[in-house]
Amino acid sequence: MQTFEKTITVSNEDLDQLNHVNNVRYVQWVQDMAEAHWLQNTTKTILDKYFWVLVSHHIDYKNQAVLGDVLKLKTYVSKSEGLFSFRQVEIYNTFNDKLIVASETKWCLISAASKRPTRITPEIIALFE
């Protein structure tokens, strides 16, 4: 299983009225990580033929993050079969290694030509093994 990681620092724009990271921001980071991992691993040929749509999203909020916290975002594809791919995103506080957020998203592969769901090719599966 191939992982992708990124480190970010919590800024004022990430905070809600309680002065911790807004739940909506976590959802955005989950989506951003999926996109960054996909773009890092794929080819122009694949990008021209396919795109992903989000089918479902589950997120568990384990701890809070506040202004100045440095967070490690980690993602990997846990399973791909048929039309669907399942992606995990975990967010950790780098200071104490506490898990802040755990997320699983279900994505459907879409053919760019037909705009319809399509089976995930072995070539795409291999990109994330």
pTM of the prediction? 0.93
Backbone angles phi, psi at 128, to 5 degrees: -120, 10
- Number of structural domains (the chain) is 1
Interval 79-111: pLDDT, tens: 999 999 999 999 999 999 999 999 999 999 999
CATH number assigned to the domain comprising residue 118: 3.10.129.10
Residues 78 and 88: beta-carbon distance below 8 Å: yes
Expressed as residue numbers, the domain containing 41 is: 3-127
